[in-house]
Structure 1
Amino acid sequence: MYRFSFIKIYHESSSSRCILVRSLFYLFVRGGDRREPLQYPVTKPVIPSTKPVIPSTNPAVNIYVVSLGLPLIFCELSSGDREAIKRIAYEFVEDKAKEGVIYVEVRYSPHFLANTDVEPIPWNQKEGDLSPDEVVCLVNQGLAEGEKAFNIIARSILCCMRHMPSWSKDVVELCKKYKKDGVVAIDLAGDESLNCEAYPGHRMAYEEAERCGVHRTVHAGEVGPASVVKEAVEVLKAERIGHGYNILEDQVLYKQLLEQNMHFEVCPISSKLTGACDPDFTKHPVITFRKDKANYSLNTDDPLIFNSTLHLDYSTAQNYMGFTEEEFKRLNINSANSSFLPEKEKKDLINKLYEAYGMVENTGF
């Protein structure tokens, strides 16, 4: 989840240290749980091993597994458990505050945590009485309590899943219902080979989202080709792209999106561990994004699975990709500008970043 506060954090390397206040877009509840066992009663038996999942050598398999959350221990453990869901949301905000994050948009699939009003019921659960609607309420409550306790801004994005187009109509309705209660956007995640032509339920959900003013982001071009990004932008009317690394395969589309100031949600650590990008960080697509002054953010993806933190993603960019303190500032300000906050709240967030960085607004990047 996300939080809002002026906690500052140090990135250390052999040559420099930079103090940065961060914003964070890309982090899944299902993989955002703490690594230690749950510290409160749950209604299901605790699974003994919480070690990070070791990725397959097949990138497509990794993305499918990670996106669907199939191996995610705490998602299965907490499904249908009201106390667990709310507590995980609250603790997520606490953890992000400790990492120096001042604003976060966390994404999750409410259907994965429900055991009624969802077909099929996930994780082979017996039917219960926790609906996707109530899941959203519980996450909203946990985030809101975390905001107050840790003085950060936390918002959420609800995910459609590519393999479950029948859920997408419900997802957009939940986005509409809770638009004023912390839900800021709709997302589409999962196996990128499942396109919208074959699964029109996603397209219809995104059309409704656009009609009703619900913000839109899409996982695209992570392991799928640039054509998936093209579909996300042209068919689903995405305002941001999750990952988007393979956009570089289509230079015409890439230049078009640069001109449109499209925002890319980049996750360095996960992109290596899933095999989405070359394991040599010096060849990562985000280096091209940086050189081209693209609009992008650095984020942590599924920290429980990948045993990662936002600090690790930032330090990796600094130590292996040549990122400087000035570039971190630039990308964080771009992140704030591309957030899904209402305009007044967005302006306040941007001003806080300028203040924290000791900068004058509109100095120009």
Structure 2
Amino acid sequence: MTADSMDSFPYKVELHVHIDGAVRPKTLLQIASKRGITLPYLDEASLRKAICIKEPCTLQVLLKAFDEYMPILAGDKSALYRMAYEFCEDCANQGIRYVEARYSPHELANNSPEPEHALEPGNLTPTDVVATICEGLQRGSSDFAINAKSILCCMRHRPEWSMEVLDLCRRYRDNGVVGIDIAGEEYLVCSQQDGANSIHHQAFLDACKHDIHRTAHAGEVGSSPVVKEAMDQLKAERIGHGYLILDDKELYARAHQQGVHFEMCPISSIRTRAVGPDITKHPMLRFADDKMNYSINTDDPVIFTNTLLEDYQMALQAGLTRQQIITTIFNAAKSSFAPEKEKTQILNDLAKVYATSGDC
């Protein structure tokens, strides 16, 4: 039995999930065995113990969890295809009918002299990574009757990658790549106009010029000025997380007026201490009261051991009503980066599903 038949949210939309943070632990072990990679983990339970975060920690601990298993994936074409294909199956089993999965092409490649995560240099380029993941998502979308798109991430600490990420967004926009993101530890990247970090700025300005949709990790564990920079300098249409915008009343009001969408992740935000431990004081409650444009997402479900339904359930525990959660699903659809024709179909399907259940 699938989540479609077990929960009261039969049609879900997810905008903020890292595909490499959603890979199955069992798959990681099988890929490692196939590649001859020796791991300190004897079984799936010990691997989960090493990479899964169930108690509040820090963003740095989260990033370290990625480092534990990324070398298993990086540089292996068949592994990346399998990751993307199985991701679609997992979404279908949860009733997620439209999803935008994000990742850094460079972190999953191995063609650099000093690859970021790969075991050793090889010949799988960022272009190969994007082509492979697009292929896996397209096949998985077809086989499991969902609509899976992708967003390519720039990394704050690697500005030299950003223009290539932009180029890949342009080249693969007809293959399901719908936007550009910037991730990694939070700090301002547009303050050094003559320095390397200004490359990020130029990449996002060029993305805007070429009608490539833009989102940015900001205001998770950094500061409200990082959110302001994302909105004003990077021209972000959506903000990943964004909780700390509440520290700037003027910016918050402007985001409300402009309809900026916030991709909130309840379970993730508590586990990384982006917000306090009291779920009844989570920023999403203020957002709901003010009718801000926001959605509910999982972020990294293999690391946080969460499903989208569990994030909805946490939102209910926090004090949101079922109708407010349904509103966030519609918000996600409206603020998705899907082509307009597909977006219209998603919204029509949502209206039918929730009208049938008496919620519209």
Q: Deviations for 1:159-194, whole angstroms, at most 9, x for unmatched residues?
A: 000010011011000000001110000000011125
Partner of 1:291: 289
How many residue pairs match? The answer is 344
Partner of 2:278: 280
Select which of 328, 332, 337 maps to 1:335.
Answer: 332
> 1:348, 1:225 → 2: CA distance?
37
Alignment check: 8 A CA contact 1:30 1:69 kept: no
Paired residue type of 2:346:
L
Alignment check: 8 A CA contact 1:263 1:295 kept: yes
Identity of aligned residues (%): 43
Shift of the 292–119 alpha-carbon distance from structure 1 to 2, 3 Å rule, reads: farther
Alignment check: 8 A CA contact 2:334 2:343 kept: yes
> 2:54, 2:159 → 1: CA distance?
26
> 1:45, 1:186 → 2: CA distance?
32
Shift of the 309–163 alpha-carbon distance from structure 1 to 2, 3 Å rule, reads: same
SS at match of 1:219: strand
The alpha carbon displacement at 1:137 in A equals 0.5
> 1:88, 1:97 → 2: CA distance?
14
The alpha carbon displacement at 1:131 in A equals 0.2
Shift of the 353–189 alpha-carbon distance from structure 1 to 2, 3 Å rule, reads: same
Partner of 1:45: 37
Q: Which has the higher helix share?
A: 2
SS at match of 2:320: coil
> 2:15, 2:237 → 1: CA distance?
13
SS at match of 2:21: coil
Paired residue type of 2:298:
T
The alpha carbon displacement at 1:63 in A equals 2.2
For the pair 1:33 / 2:23, whether they are aligned, the reply is yes
The alpha carbon displacement at 1:211 in A equals 1.0
Alignment check: 8 A CA contact 1:7 1:101 kept: no
The alpha carbon displacement at 1:352 in A equals 0.5
The alpha carbon displacement at 1:325 in A equals 2.0
> 1:344, 1:122 → 2: CA distance?
38
Q: Deviations for 1:206-245, whole angstroms, at most 9, x for unmatched residues?
A: 0111111110000000011111110000000000000000
> 2:346, 2:230 → 1: CA distance?
27
TM-score (ref. length: structure 2): 0.90
Alignment check: 8 A CA contact 2:294 2:332 kept: yes
For the pair 1:107 / 2:99, whether they are aligned, the reply is no
Alignment check: 8 A CA contact 2:110 2:118 kept: no
Partner of 2:117: 123
The alpha carbon displacement at 1:53 in A equals 4.0
Paired residue type of 1:141:
E
When the two chains are superposed, the root-mean-square deviation of aligned CA atoms in Å is 2.1
Paired residue type of 2:4:
K
SS at match of 1:357: helix
Shift of the 337–125 alpha-carbon distance from structure 1 to 2, 3 Å rule, reads: same
Query: Once superposed, which parts of structure 1, at least 4 consecutive aligned residues long, lie more than 3 Å away?
Result: 37-42, 52-58, 68-74
SS at match of 1:328: helix
Shift of the 10–252 alpha-carbon distance from structure 1 to 2, 3 Å rule, reads: farther
Extract unaligned runs of 5+ from structure 2: none
SS at match of 1:125: coil
Alignment check: 8 A CA contact 2:238 2:260 kept: yes
Extract unaligned runs of 5+ from structure 1: 1-5, 12-17
Alignment check: 8 A CA contact 1:7 1:102 kept: no
Q: Deviations for 1:274-317, whole angstroms, at most 9, x for unmatched residues?
A: 01000110110011011111111100011111111112111111
